[in-house]
Amino acid sequence: MSKPHSTVEISIVIPLYNESGNIARLAEEIVKALPPKEVDYELLLVDDGSVDDTWSVIEEACNSTPHIQGIRLSRNFGHQNALLAGLSKARGKAVISMDGDMQHPPSYLPELIELWRQGNKVVSTKRTRTEHLGKFKTKTSEWFYKVFSWLSGVQIEEGSSDFRLIDRQVLTELLRFNDVNPFLRGAVKWLGFDKHTACLEYQVGQRHEGESSYNLKRMLNFANSAIVSFSTKPLLLGIWLGLATSAIAFTELIYIIVLWSLGETVPGWASTVGIIALLFGVLFILLGVIGLYLSRIHTALQQRPKFVIGNITEAIEPVEGSKTKQPEELTS
Ligand code: UDP
Ligand code: MG
């Protein structure tokens, strides 16, 4: 029987794609870190359309352990969407997301929860030692966060991942996002709550079994969707390119005209090249202007909240005898 919303304190959401060899170990380590008799939590295992027997292992785990719940997606929707599916079903007052391959070690869970109990609404993590990650992954991830932060204005630290805890208030806001390609790291950062954010440093673990599903193609797709979701700067590139081209072409044309008035000519096709370059510049600017409008449409379609309320003080009691008038009283 599932408990009603408020009675589960913590939800742990884990997306799984072909992780049948890791689930038993993962569940065991989580129980070791968080004994169910001491901490009130549910474990949501999301099977993201695995092609191995991940689902039957999840079902087994659910039958033997009451605090585990399985969610099976109808096909592979990708890490971020699988995570979102689990988050949408979570009932806890705080929700933890982590990977299912032991790279996010369950031994850090008590610390994450403690930082939340101290009043933090977001507890993010930062990996310190990366020897289990490989040089290529560490470097590309470093570059990605730099480019992403510059293009989007949303500062994400290197070493970030989807190993984090968020309070229900943050989750409620996060679920209002309507991005075509969710990028949860960016979305949580975008929501703010910086004054109520703690960061826990951890040592990334070694993948227990199987191999990473993020090959180069998937990594590029991931980076591409994250940037497109959070930045409209590339759409405006045309304006800057156009302004630069036009300025150079214009200067060149002035130079030719001045020389011509002095009775000299620049050899070659100087005036033709100048005019073509100027026209190209104008074309780029117009493309950029189209991008400007397109960026508005893109942002509007995402329907993100226009603001997010962090705290609100107690309502001020009306002074005796000075009851605030209701709109209908004002009009009558
Ligand atoms: N994952 C998923 N759907 C996918 C790919 C990955 O749910 O399409 C899960 C995977 O099972 C793991 C987490 O997302 O729990 C991170 O994936 P992985 O370990 O392959 O990525 P890496 O750690 O190499 O970035
Ligand atoms: Mg991994």
308-327 pLDDT, tens digit each: 988 888 887 766 655 555 54
Residue 299, token pair as written in the block: 């942002």
Q: Which of 79, 207, 209 most suits a substitution to test ligand 1, by most atoms within 8 Å of the C-beta?
A: 79
DSSP classification of residue 93 = S
Q: Report the C-alpha gap between 256 and 250 in whole angstroms.
A: 10
Beta carbons within 8 Å of 255's beta carbon, 6+ residues apart: 266
Residue-level pLDDT at 330: 47
Q: What percent of the chain is helix, strand and coil (3-state, nearest 5)?
A: 50, 10, 40
Residue-level pLDDT at 332: 42
Residue-level pLDDT at 6: 52
Does residue 23 line the site of ligand 1, with CB under 6 A?
A: no
Q: Pairing relation of β-strands 41-47 and 10-16?
A: parallel
Q: Report the C-alpha gap between 32 and 170 in whole angstroms.
A: 28
H helices of 208-321, in order, are 216-230, 237-261, 270-302
Residue 259, token pair as written in the block: 């020389």
Does residue 45 line the site of ligand 1, with CB under 6 A?
A: no
Q: How far is the CA of 101 from the centre of ligand 2 (A)?
A: 6
Q: Report the C-alpha gap between 144 and 132 in whole angstroms.
A: 19
- Distances in Å between the alpha carbon of 122 and those of 109, 134, 196, 309? 14, 28, 6, 15
Picking from 231, 234, 236, 250, the residue whose alpha carbon sits closest to that of residue 285 is 236
Q: Pairing relation of β-strands 164-167 and 122-127?
A: antiparallel
Picking from 154, 193, 155, the residue whose alpha carbon sits closest to that of residue 172 is 193
Picking from 282, 291, 292, the residue whose alpha carbon sits closest to that of residue 247 is 282
CA dihedral 86, 87, 88, 93 (to 10 degrees): 130
Q: Which fold has domain 8-230+305-325?
A: Spore Coat Polysaccharide Biosynthesis Protein SpsA; Chain A (3.90.550)
With tokens 């968020």, the residue in question is: 166
CB-based contact 82:93 (threshold 8 Å): no
Take atom 19 of ligand 1 and give the residue whose Cα is closest: 212
Does residue 130 line the site of ligand 1, with CB under 6 A?
A: no
With tokens 């979570």, the residue in question is: 90
Q: How far is the CA of 82 from the centre of ligand 1 (A)?
A: 10
DSSP classification of residue 6 = G
Low-confidence stretches of the chain (pLDDT < 50) are 1-5, 327, 330-332
Does residue 141 line the site of ligand 1, with CB under 6 A?
A: no
Does residue 240 line the site of ligand 1, with CB under 6 A?
A: no
Q: How far is the CA of 314 from the centre of ligand 2 (A)?
A: 44
3-class secondary-structure state, position 123: strand
Does residue 76 line the site of ligand 1, with CB under 6 A?
A: yes
Residue 277, token pair as written in the block: 């370059």
Q: Where are the domains of the chain?
A: 8-230+305-325, 233-302
Take atom 25 of ligand 1 and give the residue whose Cα is closest: 214
Looking at the CA of residue 18, tell me the nearest atom of ligand 1. Answer: 11
Inter-helix orientation angle 270-302/237-261, to 10°: 160
Q: Could you read off the pLDDT of 77-107 as tens digits, one per residue?
A: 999 999 999 999 999 999 999 999 999 999 9
Residue-level pLDDT at 312: 86
HSE value, Cβ hemisphere, 13 Å, CA-based, for 46: 27
Beta carbons within 8 Å of 134's beta carbon, 6+ residues apart: none
With tokens 């929700």, the residue in question is: 95
Q: How far is the CA of 325 from the centre of ligand 2 (A)?
A: 59
Identify residue 235 by its one-letter amino acid code.
L
Q: Report the C-alpha gap between 144 and 314 in whole angstroms.
A: 43
Q: How far is the CA of 226 from the centre of ligand 1 (A)?
A: 16
DSSP lists the bridge partners of residue 46 as: 15, 71
pTM (two decimals):
0.86
- Distances in Å between the alpha carbon of 153 and those of 186, 189, 230? 10, 11, 9
Does residue 221 line the site of ligand 1, with CB under 6 A?
A: no
Residue 33, token pair as written in the block: 């870190």
Ligand with minimal distance to 141 CA: 1
Cα–Cα–Cα angle for 33, 9, 126, nearest 5°? 55
Looking at the CA of residue 76, tell me the nearest atom of ligand 1. Answer: 8
DSSP lists the bridge partners of residue 47 as: 16, 72
Residue-level pLDDT at 3: 47
Residue-level pLDDT at 265: 87
Does residue 78 line the site of ligand 1, with CB under 6 A?
A: yes
Residue-level pLDDT at 321: 58
